[in-house]
Amino acid sequence: MSDWRDRPKLELHLHLEGAAPPPFIRGLAAEKGQDLSRLFDERGHYRRGSFEEFLRLYEAACTVLQTPEDFRRLTLAVLEDSASHGVIYSEAFLSPDFCGGGDLEAWRDHLAAIADAAAEAEKQSGIILRGIVTCIRHFGPDQARRIARCAAETAGDFLTGFGMAGAETVGRPKDYAWAFDCAREAGLRLTCHAGEWGGPDMVADTLRDLRPERIGHGIAAARDPALMDRLAEDGIVLEICPGSNVYLGSAPSWDRHPIARLRERGVKVTVSTDDPPWFHTTMTREWEELERAFGWGEADLAELNRVALGAAFCDEATKERIR
């Protein structure tokens, strides 16, 4: 396969702030007179570190994203980039924590700006975006409830999902059950990061206590054959981000990434970039590496696109437009 870039792709796991190109964050910092030089290395890339360090730097980068206008510009930049890598449908994690700290009125204003930008990008390039509110696990269960309320109050055609990201070492899934119940009752579809750093037990506990239909990453399940079989039987979809896993070290290498084993066992897998500029990846690069590591080709992309379409948090009419 010579050119992965032009192939149509669906992406289900992308953090909006995490997709901000470094020049975008540097530009906003300059406009606001903030010194964020510690975030960048000598080549101007986001600095590399452990997962904990990544989260700290990520949150520092988010401090320049303040107004709805900042998020409107961010959304346009991110969607232009995604579309340039062949993405035709994208779901982005949106964080009320970084859009007014969980204040509902502030969140409404930010969300309206993001949705406007998505509509503009759709007109320009055809890319379709849906939003998934994500709470941040290490901000704790009380804040997660506030974020879930923001999500529940703004659920609709654009905001279709709820999830949780952040440090898996903090608390247990059941601590966040109220937030997930609140979102479910509002009609939102559910996903949750688990099994990126935690073990198979974290994936199993997440499924039992939060009942999401998709799992963000979930790669630890590959260490437990019975859990893989259960995921396959229950049709749980994994949003796998191989480039992120290899860069941060939750998977040993591209060649030994568990995505191939999970798929061979019948687990529904999809491919996404997570926070592409942080991990020096794009949807094009993900597929170039999957081809190199596992010989995956056009038919594999078509199958994974079908899985992603089936698991997408959008209505049937939207799916018809993508098909």
Which stretch of DSSP H or E encloses residue 11?
strand 9-15
286: nearest Cα among 249, 238, 250, 247: 247
196 binds, among ligand ADE, Zn ion, none (CB under 5 to 8 A by kind): ligand ADE
DSSP letter at 237 equals E
Only segment of 117-125, 135-143, 265-273, 274-282 that touches Zn ion (CB under 5 A): 274-282
**Residue 274 in contact with Zn ion, rule: CB under 5 A:** yes
Count of residues of this chain found to bind Zn ion when the rule CB under 5 A is applied: 1
**Residue 18 in contact with ligand ADE, rule: CB under 6 A:** yes
Residue the block writes with tokens 């698991």: 311
166 binds, among ligand ADE, Zn ion, none (CB under 5 to 8 A by kind): ligand ADE
**Residue 196 in contact with ligand ADE, rule: CB under 6 A:** yes
Count of residues of this chain found to bind ligand ADE when the rule CB under 6 A is applied: 9
What crossing angle do the helices spanning 22-32 and 68-84 adopt, rounded to 10°? Answer: 160
Least separation in angstroms between CB 259 and ligand ADE: 15
Nearer to Zn ion, 91 or 274 (CB): 274
**Residue 149 in contact with ligand ADE, rule: CB under 6 A:** no
145: left (phi over 0), alpha (psi -120 to 50) or beta: alpha
The contact pattern for ligand ADE, residues 219-258, with x = CB under 6 A and - = no contact, is: -------------------------x--------------
Nearer to ligand ADE, 50 or 124 (CB): 50
Q: What is the dihedral of CA 244, 248, 251, 254, to 10 degrees?
A: 60
Whose CB is nearest to Zn ion?
274
- Cβ burial of 54 (10 Å; 0-12, 13-18, 19+) is buried
11: nearest Cα among 167, 195, 242: 242
**Residue 273 in contact with ligand ADE, rule: CB under 6 A:** no
Nearer to Zn ion, 168 or 274 (CB): 274
- The answer to whether the CB of 279 falls within 8 A of the CB of 15 is no
**Residue 272 in contact with ligand ADE, rule: CB under 6 A:** no
- Cβ burial of 48 (10 Å; 0-12, 13-18, 19+) is middle
Nearer to Zn ion, 29 or 94 (CB): 94
Nearer to ligand ADE, 161 or 166 (CB): 166
Nearer to ligand ADE, 124 or 169 (CB): 169
Q: Is 132 helix (H, G, I), strand (E, B) or coil?
A: strand
**Residue 255, CA distances (Å) to 9, 190, 263, 290 in order:** 22, 30, 15, 8
Residues with active-site annotation: 196
Q: Rounded distance, CA 316 to CA 322, Å?
A: 10
**Residue 86 in contact with ligand ADE, rule: CB under 6 A:** no
**Residue 206 in contact with ligand ADE, rule: CB under 6 A:** no
Whose CB is nearest to ligand ADE?
165
Only segment of 146-154, 176-184, 246-254, 271-279 that touches Zn ion (CB under 5 A): 271-279
Q: Rounded distance, CA 164 to CA 161, Å?
A: 10
Least separation in angstroms between CB 298 and ligand ADE: 28
Which stretch of DSSP H or E encloses residue 268?
strand 268-271
Single-letter amino acid code for the residue at 286: E
Answer for which of 97, 274, 286, 289 binds ligand ADE (CB under 6 A) is 274
Q: Which residues bind ligand ADE (CB under 6 A)?
A: 15, 18, 165-166, 193, 196, 244, 274-275
Q: Which residues bind Zn ion (CB under 5 A)?
A: 274
